[in-house]
Amino acid sequence: MTHAMLKGANVPLDATAVRAVLRWTPGQGVPDVDASALLLGPDGRVRSDEDFVFYNQPRHPSGTVWRLGKKRVAEGLTDTVQADLGGVPSEIGSILLVASADDVEFKHVQALRMFVYDAGADGGEPIAHFDIKPETGAETALICGELYRRGDGWRLRAVGEGYSNGLVGLATDFGISVDESAASAPAAEPATEPALPTPTPATAPVPAPQQTRPTEPSSFPLPPPQRPPAYGYPQQPATQPAPQHQPAYGYPQPVAAPAYPDPSFRLPPQGPQFIGR
């Protein structure tokens, strides 16, 4: 039998493990809802930040409370928290079942309802359900229900109390030191892929220069004819006139002989022994 609960009502739980399911109707302008849980000690506060089970810390260190994550069903979207009540540490007196809407007011969330199932019964009817209606509509976080000890057993209470300062304000009120940057949006379930930053002119990539083939001239001036060097000798510099005669093969060039006979040539004086003979 399913209990249709009103705000403030409570029912006993015979199950040793329960599954708390938040369900809502998606649509344009409807925020995404996240389920979380706070494990409170006898003083009504957490013992440490590890007693906060949410999207950035989806499992309690004891392994007895954890998030199952979101799912699309025929009636809408769901997010689920499961608790093994038989294994919860004895110093934990209650578990708060929380819904948050990422700083969007719950007046935009349609048909928000909490179902509590016996986690050991597959496909069974819920133990109880509770229609959650914000008091002002400006709430951005809601305590939907509470699992609490009564003697040796557990009970479920329908709460429906909200906070206008979101999940951060709710968690802080129960002793959690929350990093607002970490709690502002789920890290494991981003709604959209982050856009890449647009490069600034100082860091924008410079386009590769276009490589063009040089235009070939239609005609080229021909070089002046060059006389090949003599075999075995270095080539004469272009600034010196080429010799009139090539050297003989294998020998240096002969020096030009003086004109003969020389008109100024005179015989040496003759001795007397050569006169008259």
Write the CA distances from 110 to 47, 75, 140, integer angstroms.
34, 12, 14
Which pLDDT band, with edges at 50, 70 and 90, does 46 fall under?
very high
CA dist., res. 218 & res. 204, Å (int)? 41
**Residue with structure tokens 């409170």?**
40
Give me Rg for the CA atoms of the chain: 52
Angle at 177 between CA 38 and CA 136, to 5 degrees: 60
pLDDT at site 177: 83
Token reading at 79: 């997010």
Question: Token match 């649509």: residue?
Answer: 27
Tokens of 219: 């005609």
| Strand 153-163 versus strand 10-13 pairing type | antiparallel
Residue 150 pairs with which residues in a beta bridge?
153
The answer to whether the CB of 247 falls within 8 A of the CB of 253 is yes
Compare 115 and 272 and report the one with higher pLDDT: 115
57: left (phi over 0), alpha (psi -120 to 50) or beta: beta
Query: pLDDT-derived band of residue 254, with 50, 70 and 90 as boundaries?
Result: low
**Contact by Cβ (8 Å): 118, 18:** yes
Calculate ∠ Cα 200-201-203, nearest 5°. Answer: 65
Residue 124: its pLDDT value, please?
Answer: 83
Provide the pLDDT for residue 255: 57
pLDDT tens per residue across span 211-248: 443 444 444 454 555 555 554 445 555 444 554 555 55
